[in-house]
Amino acid sequence: MKSKSTGVRFWIGAILFLAAMLAATQVIRNEYPFFAGYIILQFVVLAVAWSILGGYAGYVNFGTSAFFGMGVYTAVFLVKATGAPLAVQIAAAAGVGALLGFAVGLLTLRMQGIFFSIATIALTIIIETTVTNWRFVGGAAGIQIQRPPVTPPFDTYVQMLFFVQALLVVLAVAIARYIQRSWIGRGLQAIKDDELAAECTGVPTLRLKLLACVISGALMCAAGAPAAMYFQYADPSSAFNLNYSVSALAMSLIGGTAHWAGPVLGAILLGVTQQFLAVTISSEVNVLILGIMLVLFVVAAPEGLIGLIRKIGNWRAGRAT
Amino acid sequence: MKRRALLGAAIAVAAIAIDAIALASGAIAQQPPIKIGMSMAQTGGLAGAGKASLLGIQIWADELNAKGGLLGRKVELVVYDDKSTAAETPAIYAKLLDVDKVDLLFAPYATVPTAPLLPLAKQRELLLMGNFSFQVNSKVKHDMWFNNAPWGPADSWAASFLELGQKAGGKRIALLAADQEFAQNLALTAREVAKTRNMQIVFDQAYPPNTVEFSSIIRALSATKPDIVYVASYPPDSAGILRAVNEIGVGDNVKIFGGAMVGLQFAAVMENLGSLLNGVVNYNTWLPEPSMYFEGTKAFFETYAKRAVEAKVDPLGYYIAPYGYAMGQMVEQAVNATKSLDQKAIAKYLHANEHKTIVGPIAYSPDGEWKETATLQAQFRGVKDKNVEQFRSAGRQVILFPEKLKTGDLISPFEAARN
């Protein structure tokens, strides 16, 4: 009964969030909030997607930038080859991401721990090198893309991309929440605790890990697809920038990986801080502040913001009794 | 009594005049400044040149404000760090336009951070002063884009180098280019120029951006016996390539070596490589040769040399800093001539006129690039190890191209020029 009511509350919250985002695009005339907000929402999707494999199953994936870049270049390819609309670009990117996730799952899930992480870094390098030498999508020189006319009710393309990314956030969070609360999440949790023991007790470990890889990969690629139209430019070094991998990982860890809300909180906190610092302290100091934040969270709140909130809640409850 | 009355009247008139002047100057002081917005790489791979460029622009703004500003208003620079990536610039320029409400825009240093801005500038019909991008407007075709870099037509860079090689008797070309945006663009034009000049490409290789060891590549290159070696590389690679050449050589056939090696323009790299630079013919934008001094050039470098120490940027600042200053000068001339901040009027003026700057006269072709290339090809000569001050005097980099700025002839073959 409780689970049903929290489900209703979640969906009411999601609809309210989307309504607020849509209203913002209709009311706010200044474009800057949408430019900055888009980046924050993009990181929310990436962090939530990373957490499905990295948080629930404990497989640390450094290949976020590979999936993100594949999303960008799937969109670039489709725009150049067929002039496909945005929805098709995103759907195709999700498909490519799922396939890539499946391949990664098959190839690398036999590896564990640090070996898996190294394999995912290698994946980024392989794909980036391939795209760098693929002249059709611009190769090393990059490619500029012209946006098509915007679809009503939006006034500008960036407002539309902002709302599309908000939709992806709701989709990613809903999937992560479902996984966490279902048998899949419990299975992944068992794998994280002790994979051998999980296998012995009948948890279909390979199948679950493949599923996590496919879903995580599809979401990351989908998050990358609108970036081609956002930047109106794609080049391999920007699209496959390791910064996406590091940020997605840091956001999930800072937010906490035990609950779907952790990566959301972490991405909002870090994303807002990054955007704020980019236009306030214009120097090396902004990089330093981010580094200090990471160290502080790792030392003071190893379970992330979610862990910290739980601790405070328990402490208050303890004091009350 | 009459005298007193006269004196009193004179004092009253003087007091009124002083009040009027004070009021007028107060009105000027109260006028909001003209804001010029930009992002600039202050961290990341492009930061070295980005900071030097910004210092050049700041020197222009400070001198202009000391003279009374633009249209009677002070000029204020609004600058953010784009961390050398294209990922930051769209949001930064949206803030500059929609929150900071800047009056004019300067593009960030380099091609990649600028690339996402061209479509934005075109959609909003904004004037965008380019800052050392390469062919970034070739597809977007924005008619209010003006690049401050002296590249000129797309093929002139490779054409000038290959022409020098051809005049020295070269026919067989080796192309070595980093697998990155700028180097690949240059390699592409080199292939086209070679084709039009009926020159044979005997070696054509792209290497991954983080390559540090070049001896095997240089061995493979010299095995093809080229007589022109065109290299398009980035700072760490440029140093690695020259070290490999120094160790194993490129063969006696080579008439000319270099072309588009990024890094050999910066004081730290030049000081580090020292005598390894001798004989290399490479592109540059400004050099302390007699032909390169125009009105204000000497004064600019005197100010730059002092401020570079405080700002901890490239002590020489030849490559990009004077072009930052020149970008400001062009805007200053256009705004003063049109007496407005109307972006279309400024763009029209910039297209229609030649502009006097500290890097020489600048005139634009319709694509927003210089009508004529002023990209120098210069040969390093007599360079000694570990001495940055030597690069301040003429003769260390002799200009071979363009003809109107030439200060010497090519010493060829490459092996002879190295000694």
* Number of domains, chain B: 2
Instruction: Answer whether residue B27 is part of any domain.
Output: no
Q: Where are the strands (E) in B293-332, listed by range?
A: none
CB contact under 8 A, B94 and A36: yes
Q: Average pLDDT of chain A?
A: 86
**What is chain A's length?**
321
**Could you count the other beta carbons within 10 Å of the beta carbon of residue A73?**
28
Distance from CA of B184 to the nearest CA of A (A): 6
Q: Residue B9's pLDDT is what? A: 53
* B306/B245 same-domain check: no
Instruction: Answer whether residue B20 is part of any domain.
Output: no
H, E, C per residue of A217-252? HHHHHHHHHHHHHHHCEECHHHHCCHHHHHHHHHHH
Q: Is B263 left (phi over 0), alpha (psi -120 to 50) or beta?
A: left
* Mean pLDDT within B391-402: 94
**Band of the pLDDT at B395, cuts 50, 70, 90?**
very high
Lowest mean pLDDT among A277-281, B8-12, B195-199, B218-222: B8-12
Token code pair at residue A18: 């989307």
Helix orientation angle between A242-255 and A113-132, rounded to the nearest 10 degrees: 140
Please determine, for residue B20, whether its predicted confidence score (pLDDT) is greater than 90. Answer: no
How many CB pairs below 8 A link A and B?
102
Give the 3-state secondary structure of residue B204.
Answer: strand
Instruction: Answer whether residue B311 is part of any domain.
Output: yes
Instruction: For tokens 């996402």, name the residue.
Output: B116
CB contact under 8 A, B81 and A286: yes
Instruction: Answer whether residue A112 is part of any domain.
Output: yes
Contacts of A140 in chain B (CB under 8 A): 179-181, 183-184, 206
Q: How far apart are the first and last CA of chain B?
A: 92
Q: Where are the strands (E) in chain A, listed by range?
A: 143-144, 233-234
Give the 3-state secondary structure of residue B168.
Answer: coil
Instruction: Answer whether residue B413 is part of any domain.
Output: yes
Token code pair at residue A142: 């990059």
Token code pair at residue A80: 């150049």
Return the exposure string of A188-207: e unless at least 16 CB atoms fall within 10 Å of the residue's CB, then b. Answer: bbbbbeebeebeeeebebee
Please determine, for residue B1, whether its predicted confidence score (pLDDT) is greater than 80. Answer: no
Instruction: For tokens 């992002």, name the residue.
Output: B39
Give the 3-state secondary structure of residue B275.
Answer: helix
Give the 3-state secondary structure of residue A211.
Answer: helix
CB contact under 8 A, B87 and A231: yes
Instruction: Answer whether residue A295 is part of any domain.
Output: no
* B262/B382 same-domain check: yes
Q: Which of A39, A144, A283 sits opposite B139 (nearest CB)?
A: A144
Please determine, for residue B29, whether its predicted confidence score (pLDDT) is greater than 80. Answer: no
Distance from CA of B224 to the nearest CA of A (A): 24
A7 residue type, one letter: G
Instruction: Answer whether residue B340 is part of any domain.
Output: yes
**Band of the pLDDT at A195, cuts 50, 70, 90?**
confident
* B324/B401 same-domain check: no
Instruction: Answer whether residue B5 is part of any domain.
Output: no
Give the 3-state secondary structure of residue B175.
Answer: strand
A130 touching B, CB under 8 A?
Answer: no
Please determine, for residue B43, whether its predicted confidence score (pLDDT) is greater than 50. Answer: yes
CA nearest B398: which of B407, B390, B385?
Answer: B407
**Band of the pLDDT at A54, cuts 50, 70, 90?**
confident
Q: Which of B82, B184, B205 to mutate to test the interface with A (most CBs of A within 10 A)?
A: B184
Q: Which residue in A has a C-alpha nearest to residue B85's C-alpha?
A: A238
Distance from CA of A254 to the nearest CA of B (A): 22
* B264/B379 same-domain check: yes
Token code pair at residue B177: 């280019």
Percentage of chain B modeled with pLDDT above 70? 93
Instruction: For tokens 């794609």, name the residue.
Output: A234
* B101/B64 same-domain check: yes
Radius of gyration of chain B (CA): 25
Please determine, for residue B110, whether its predicted confidence score (pLDDT) is greater than 90. Answer: no
List Cα–Cα distances, B362 to B59, B148, B304, B404, in angstroms.
Answer: 20, 9, 22, 14
Please determine, for residue B14, whether its predicted confidence score (pLDDT) is greater than 80. Answer: no
Q: Which residue in A has a C-alpha nearest to residue B82's C-alpha?
A: A278
CA nearest A86: which of A166, A169, A167, A160?
Answer: A160
CATH code: domain of residue B269? 3.40.50.2300
Give the 3-state secondary structure of residue B358.
Answer: coil
* B287/B300 same-domain check: no
Q: Residue A282's pLDDT is what? A: 56
Distance from CA of A140 to the nearest CA of B (A): 5
* Mean pLDDT within A25-31: 85
B311 touching A, CB under 8 A?
Answer: no
B67 touching A, CB under 8 A?
Answer: no
Q: Residue A256's pLDDT is what? A: 83
pLDDT tens figures, B162-171: 999 999 999 9
Specify the DSSP class assigned to residue B370: B
CB contact under 8 A, B139 and A243: no
B141 touching A, CB under 8 A?
Answer: no
ipTM above 0.85?
Answer: no
Helix orientation angle between A261-278 and A32-54, rounded to the nearest 10 degrees: 140
A137 touching B, CB under 8 A?
Answer: no
Q: Residue B153's pLDDT is what? A: 87
Lowest mean pLDDT among A162-171, B84-93, B276-285: B84-93
CB contact under 8 A, A32 and B116: no
Count the alpha carbons within 13 Å of B123 in the hemisphere toward its beta carbon. Answer: 17
Q: pLDDT: is B31 or B125 the higher one?
A: B125
Contacts of A31 in chain B (CB under 8 A): 94, 97-98
C-beta separation of B131 from B107 below 8 A: yes
Q: Residue A60's pLDDT is what? A: 85
Q: Which of A141, A158, A230 sits opposite B185 (nearest CB)?
A: A141
Instruction: Answer whether residue A109 is part of any domain.
Output: yes
Q: Which of B79, B119, B181 sits opposite A282 (nearest CB)?
A: B79
Give CB contacts under 8 A, 24+ apart, made by B192-197: B192/B155, B192/B158, B193/B155, B193/B158, B193/B159, B193/B162, B194/B158, B194/B162, B197/B162, B197/B163, B197/B166
Q: pLDDT: is B101 or B7 the higher one?
A: B101
* B118/B258 same-domain check: no
* B194/B47 same-domain check: no
Please determine, for residue B231, whether its predicted confidence score (pLDDT) is greater than 60. Answer: yes
Q: Which domain holds residue B211?
A: 156-291+374-417
Please determine, for residue B181, whether its predicted confidence score (pLDDT) is greater than 80. Answer: no
CA nearest B53: which of B318, B346, B397?
Answer: B318
Q: Which of B86, B97, B188 sits opposite A235 (nearest CB)?
A: B86
Please determine, for residue B24, whether its predicted confidence score (pLDDT) is greater than 50. Answer: no
* B139/B167 same-domain check: no
* B138/B38 same-domain check: yes
CB contact under 8 A, B116 and A142: no
List Cα–Cα distances, A110 to A103, A190, B331, in angstroms.
Answer: 12, 17, 62
Please determine, for residue A295, whether its predicted confidence score (pLDDT) is greater than 50. Answer: yes
**Band of the pLDDT at B190, cuts 50, 70, 90?**
very high
* Mean pLDDT within B84-104: 89
CB contact under 8 A, B91 and A275: yes
**Band of the pLDDT at A41, cuts 50, 70, 90?**
very high
Instruction: Answer whether residue A255 is part of any domain.
Output: no
How far apart CA B261 and CA A76 sit, in angstroms, is 30
Please determine, for residue A168, whether its predicted confidence score (pLDDT) is greater than 50. Answer: yes
Q: Which domain holds residue A88?
A: 2-240
Helix orientation angle between A64-82 and A32-54, rounded to the nearest 10 degrees: 120
- Assess whether the previous peptide bond of B108 is cis (omega < 30° from 0): no
Host H or E run for residue B201: strand B200-207
Q: In whole angstroms, what separates CA B357 from the centre of its chain?
A: 13
Q: Which of B98, B100, B234 to mutate to test the interface with A (most CBs of A within 10 A)?
A: B98
How far apart CA B7 and CA B68 sit, in angstroms, is 35
Q: pLDDT: is B134 or B406 the higher one?
A: B406
Instruction: Answer whether residue A291 is part of any domain.
Output: no
Instruction: Answer whether residue A300 is part of any domain.
Output: no
Instruction: Answer whether residue A60 is part of any domain.
Output: yes
pLDDT tens figures, B354-386: 999 999 999 999 999 999 999 999 999 999 998
B184 touching A, CB under 8 A?
Answer: yes
* Number of domains, chain A: 1
Contacts of B206 in chain A (CB under 8 A): 133, 140
Q: Residue B8's pLDDT is what? A: 53
How far apart CA B107 and CA B147 sit, in angstroms, is 9
Token code pair at residue B384: 């000694």
CB contact under 8 A, B179 and A140: yes
CB contact under 8 A, B112 and A132: no
What is the DSSP annotation of B374-391?
--EEEEE-S--SS-SGGG
C-beta separation of B383 from B278 below 8 A: yes
Q: In whole angstroms, what separates CA A201 from the centre of its chain?
A: 32
Q: Residue A321's pLDDT is what? A: 63
Please determine, for residue B199, whether its predicted confidence score (pLDDT) is greater than 70. Answer: yes
Please determine, for residue A179, whether its predicted confidence score (pLDDT) is greater than 50. Answer: yes
Token code pair at residue A129: 């090198």
A273 touching B, CB under 8 A?
Answer: no
Give the 3-state secondary structure of residue B355.
Answer: strand
* Mean pLDDT within B3-11: 52
Count the alpha carbons within 13 Å of B175 in the hemisphere toward its beta carbon. Answer: 24
Phi, psi of B40 (to 5 degrees): -145, 140
Instruction: Answer whether residue B19 is part of any domain.
Output: no
Instruction: Answer whether residue B26 is part of any domain.
Output: no
Instruction: Answer whether residue A166 is part of any domain.
Output: yes
* B237/B173 same-domain check: yes
Token code pair at residue B289: 């040769």
pTM higher than 0.95: no
* B342/B264 same-domain check: no
Considering only residues 15 to 54 of chain A, which have any Cβ-Cβ distance to chain B shorter than 8 Å? 30-32, 34-36, 39
